[in-house]
Structure 1
C-alpha cells in the first residue's frame, strides 16, 4: 500500500483524508499463486446478471465451457458461452498463438468494462480463468487493471502414494480440482490398477480401470497431467507377493517379496506387461518407475546373482549397481518405444555404478545421497525437486510449511544442496506417503495437505514469499478458498443419536457419534464397531472378508471410524481406513469387502 501523506489538521480530519486517499489507491487482486505483476487501471469490472463468456475458436470454447461449469458450481449462475463481439460485463477468452512471450502456460488478464483473458495456448487461457474464479470468489466487483502472469517452473505438482492403503476417488477428484485452481499441473499417482492380465496380483488397494479413466478425464479437463507409477524393482510387494518366482532370493535362500529379481527376463516381461496395461487407462507421456530403496540398506553381497548378472553383461569391472541401472535403462527404452519419458527417484544413484542412466531420464530428487543435484544437472538430466522437506507422511514426518515459507524456500533448494540457477530444474512437488496407514484418515490428510499445496503452488509459479508474513499468506489462501466443485467430504448425513441399522435379516443397534474429522463411530452395547484381524499392511487390516467386531471404544483408533455413504434405499457403511464396505456373510456375520468383489449391504436407519 502506498504511504498516504496527512496534512496538519485535527485527528478526525486526518483520518478522513487518509481514508479517502487509501480508497483511491487500487487494490492488488488477491490470488494463490500471487499475481506476478499488477498494473492498476481506472474504475472496476462488475460481474452481473447478463454477463456472457465470449469465445470464438475451438480452444477458446473448451476453456469457456469449463469456466461456465465452474461458475455454476461456485454459485455464480448459468453463464452463456457465445461468439462475436463483447459487451460491457462480458468475460472474453482469447487464444492468440502470436503471443509467444506468454509461453505455454502464461496469460494476460485485463479488467475494465469487461474482463479479458488472453494466452498463446489453451492451457494458458485456462490458467487465466482460474484467476478469474479466484477473484470472483471474493466478490463480483474487481479493480480495473492488467497483469501478465507467467510461471517460473514447468512442473508444479503433488505426488500421492495411493499404494497399499486405498484412497477414495472422491478424495483424488477434490485434489485434482484444487490443484488446477492453484495452477498446479502434475499429479504423480503410485497406485495399483486392477489387472486383467495378472489376477493373482489383485490384492486390495486397487482401482478399477473405469475409475482411473474417469479420474484421468477429469485431469485432462482441468489440465492436470496424471503420471502413473509402479515402483520397481523395489517396493514390488503389492504386485509380486503371490509371485515367488519373481522375488529376489538372498544367499540363504530367503525370498524377498518386495524386491523384483532383476536378473530374470521373466521379471522384466512381467513389469512391462503391467506398463502396457496401465497404458490402456493413463494418457500421460511420462512413466514413473520409482527405482528407490531397492536394497533398503542391505548389502548387494547378499545377492551374488546380481553381481554375476552385471559382470556377464558389462565385464569384470561391473558392479552390482550396474545391474540395477541396467534394469532402469531397459525400462527407459521400453517406455521410449511407446512415446513415454521415464522418471525415477534419485536415491538409487549412489555413484557405485559404471553404467550411466540413459540420457533424458528425469530424476526426482528427494534424498541427499553421494550423487548431488549439481552433478545430475551437469550430466544433463532433467531434475525435479521432490525434497523430503516437502513430505507429508502418515505416522511420520510432516512438512514445516510455515518454516519453508519464512525461509523463502524455492525449487532450487534440494536436500543437501542449493543450486544457484533454476536452469534444468523442471519444478517441485509435495509428496504424500502412508507409512502408517491408520495414523490419519483421508480427511485429516486433506487438512494437513492444504497449506503445503498452496505453498508449493506459490513457490513454483512465482515469488516464493509474496507476503511479509506466513499469517498473511494463509489469509490470502483463505480468501481464495477451494476450487468450484470441491466437495466437503467431512459432512455426516445423519445426526448424532442411537439408531437401528437393518439390512435384510441383519440388525445392529448403535449410537452414532460424529468424529472431529467427519466420520462416525458406532457404539453398541458391547463396544465400538471395528475391523480387526487378518494380515496387516502398513498397520491396516486390508484383507477382504475380515470380520467387523465390537471392541473397546478408543477415540484415537481410526479403524473404529466409519463413513455413512448414501445409497439407494439407505446407506453403505465404509471403513474410514480400509475403504472397504460392510457386507453380510451367508451366516449373518458383518465382514468387509471391496465393492467390486461382493455387494455392499445397504442399511436402513431408524431412530432407536
Structure 2
C-alpha cells in the first residue's frame, strides 16, 4: 500500500486534503524555511523558534498597566492605525489570545536601557527594562506586521551593541522642509536609530539681525522635537563655531575675525573677544527654549579652512597672555571650546565637537568629558583620543551623503562588513571607547539635488548604519539580500510620500499672474513652462550655489531639465495652491507692482493661486 492510500485509510480523504494543503502552503514572509529569525532591520541575532504562530486580528487588544507602559501602547496604537491595521484598544488586565502585552520591568537589567524581549505565542509580549527598550520592541512588532498578520512563534532578546546610532543633517544654509525631517525621525525610530544631529538656524528673538533665510521658527522646532521625544530620537542641536558661523554673523562685523591685512572674515568668530563668547552663549540659551537634548554640538571644525593662524597674530597674543609664553594659537581655539563646554555643563548639557580641530598643536587639552565625533583623518588618531579619555563617535567621511556630490558607497561598506570601529585612517581592534556611528547629510552643492532625490540615497544608507550599530554588520550573504530585507519591512508608519504631486499635468492659469504648463518631474516636483521659458529662482547672491536671499525675483529662464531651481512644489492650501521652490524652500508672493518674488512664509504672506 502506498503512502497516500495509507493516509486515506487512517485519516479519511478530507483530512488528507487539509493536511496536504497545510504542507504545501507558502511560508509566511516573516518566517524562514530553516526556522531562522523573522525578517527585521536591524536583523535579529538571537531567536528561539517555537511551534505555531501569533495571529493579529480583529479582537487584538493592547494590554498595558503603568503610565509608562500605556504611553508605549498609545504610540503603538497610533502607528498600527497609520499602518492600516485598524484602531486598537488599550486595556488593563490579563491578556487573552491574540493580545499584545507591553511590560516594563526594571529588574530585567540585562536588557540594558534599550534592549527588549519579544515573545510570540498565542499572545505576544514585549518586555523592556526601560520605556525605551519596550518602545524598540514595538518597532520590531510593526516591522513583522508589515509583512503579514501572522508572526512565527518564538522568542528574541535583542540588545544594541552601541549606544549612539545616528544621522546628522546640515540644514545650516539650505533649508530642509519640516515634513522631510519628520519622515527622517520616523524612519530612524523604525530602524532603532536614536540620535539626530541637526545643524540649523532657529529664528532668534534676541538677535533679529541674524534672521537671514535658512531659519526655522521656534514653533517648527518644538513640533520636530516633540516628535523626536515621542519616538525616542534625541534631537541634538548644533551651531557651528568658531568657524562656519557666517549664517549667524554676516551682519555682525564687530564679531568677525580680522586678518593681518585688516580684512573681516565673516565665517570666523573672533575668539579673542568676550563679546563673541557672550553672543554665542546667548544663542545657546535661545536654543534651550526649544530643544530638550542633554547634548550640545558646537562644531569646532575647519576654523582655519583656507587660511592659517599666522594671518591672525592677535590669536597667538591672546593664548600667550592667558597660558604663558609656550602657548600656541591652537590653545586659544581650545580655550574657546572649553569655555563653551563649561557653559553647557552649567546647564546640565554635555559638549560634542568634530575631531579635525584637535591637531596635537595645542598645549591646553580639551575637557575630557567632551564627546569627539571623528570624521576626518588628522594627526591625532581615534585610538589616541580614546587613550586620553575621550568618548569617540564614528562620523566617518565614508558615511557622508553630500548634496550634489560624494555619496556613501553603502554596498561596498556592507560587503566589507563595515562597523563603527572602522574610522577614517584607522581601524580599532576593540569597540571600547567608541560610542557608535552616524551618517551625515551635507549641502555642499545645495542645488545639486532636491531633498526628494537625497531621500532615495538616504534610506539604504540609514538602514545600513542601523544594522552596523545595533547588531551583526553583515546579516545576509549579499548586499542584494540586505536590500530585500529593507524592502520587506518597508517605511515607518506615518511616513509620507513627498513625491506625490497634487496637480495633474496640464496647462493652467495661475490667477491673474501667468499661464503655464505644469509638468511633473521625476523627483516629485513640477516645472512651470510658458512661452517665455521655465519659472526659476536664479538671481541674487549665491550661497553654496543657491540664491538664498529673501526678495529674489522669480524669472522665466531657458528650460533645463537638470536645473533644480526650476522645480516647484505646489502646496495645497485653502483656496488654491502656494508655490514653494524645491531648493530654496521659500514661497512665492506677489508685490504691489506685480513682481513675483520669494520670501520665507513668516516674513511675507505667500500668494495663493487658484488654478483654472
Equivalent residue, structure 2, for 1:410: 419
Equivalent runs, 1:120-199 vs 2, <5 Å? 120-199=129-208
Distance 1:22 1:41 in 2: 18
Equivalent runs, 1:239-250 vs 2, <5 Å? 239-250=248-259
Distance 2:117 2:298 in 1: 37
SS of residue in 2 equivalent to 1:485: coil
Q: 2:463 aligned to 454, 464, 478, which one?
A: 454
Distance 1:363 1:21 in 2: 53
Contact preservation (8 Å) 2:173, 2:543: yes
1:536 to 2:545 alignment: no
Q: Which deviations, in whole Å up to 9, do the C-alpha atoms of 1:73-106 show, x marking residues without a partner? A: 0000000000100000000000000000000000
Equivalent runs, 1:49-448 vs 2, <5 Å? 49-448=58-457
Q: Which deviations, in whole Å up to 9, do the C-alpha atoms of 1:83-142 show, x marking residues without a partner? A: 100000000000000000000000000001011001100000000000000000000011
Distance 2:238 2:601 in 1: 24
TM-score by length of 2: 0.95
Q: Report deviation, 1:538.
A: 0.5
Q: Report deviation, 1:305.
A: 0.2
1:488 to 2:497 alignment: yes
Q: Report deviation, 1:21.
A: 12
Distance 2:356 2:367 in 1: 16
Q: Which deviations, in whole Å up to 9, do the C-alpha atoms of 1:271-314 show, x marking residues without a partner? A: 00000000000000000000000000422110000000000000
Distance 2:486 2:577 in 1: 35
Equivalent residue, structure 2, for 1:46: 55
Distance 2:25 2:228 in 1: 45
Contact preservation (8 Å) 2:242, 2:300: yes
Contact preservation (8 Å) 2:118, 2:124: yes
Computed over aligned residues only, the root mean square deviation of the Cα atoms, in angstroms, reads 1.2
Q: 1:555 aligned to 558, 561, 581, which one?
A: 561
Report how many aligned residue pairs link the two structures: 587
Distance 1:237 1:129 in 2: 43
Unaligned runs of 5+ residues in structure 1 are 1-15
Q: Report deviation, 1:28.
A: 2.2
Distance 2:306 2:371 in 1: 24
SS of residue in 2 equivalent to 1:564: strand
Q: Report deviation, 1:417.
A: 0.4
Equivalent residue, structure 2, for 1:576: 582
Q: Report deviation, 1:448.
A: 1.0
Q: Report deviation, 1:395.
A: 2.2
Distance 2:132 2:220 in 1: 25
Q: Which deviations, in whole Å up to 9, do the C-alpha atoms of 1:475-519 show, x marking residues without a partner? A: 0000011000000000001111111111xxx32110000000000
Q: Report deviation, 1:27.
A: 4.7
Q: Report deviation, 1:359.
A: 1.5
Distance 1:236 1:299 in 2: 17
SS of residue in 2 equivalent to 1:61: helix
Closer, same or farther: CA 355–25 of 1 in aligned 2, 3 Å: closer
Distance 1:553 1:379 in 2: 57
Give every structure 1 segment of 4 or more consecutive aligned residues whose post-TM-superposition deviation is greater than 4 Å.
19-25
Distance 2:404 2:594 in 1: 35
SS of residue in 2 equivalent to 1:604: coil
1:516 to 2:516 alignment: no
Equivalent residue, structure 1, for 2:570: 564
Q: 2:513 aligned to 507, 510, 517, which one?
A: 507
Unaligned runs of 5+ residues in structure 2 are 1-19, 28-32
Closer, same or farther: CA 49–21 of 1 in aligned 2, 3 Å: closer
Contact preservation (8 Å) 2:36, 2:47: no
Contact preservation (8 Å) 1:36, 1:150: no
Q: Report deviation, 1:432.
A: 0.2
SS of residue in 2 equivalent to 1:277: helix
Q: Report deviation, 1:397.
A: 1.0
SS of residue in 1 equivalent to 2:257: strand
Distance 1:21 1:90 in 2: 25
Distance 1:341 1:297 in 2: 30
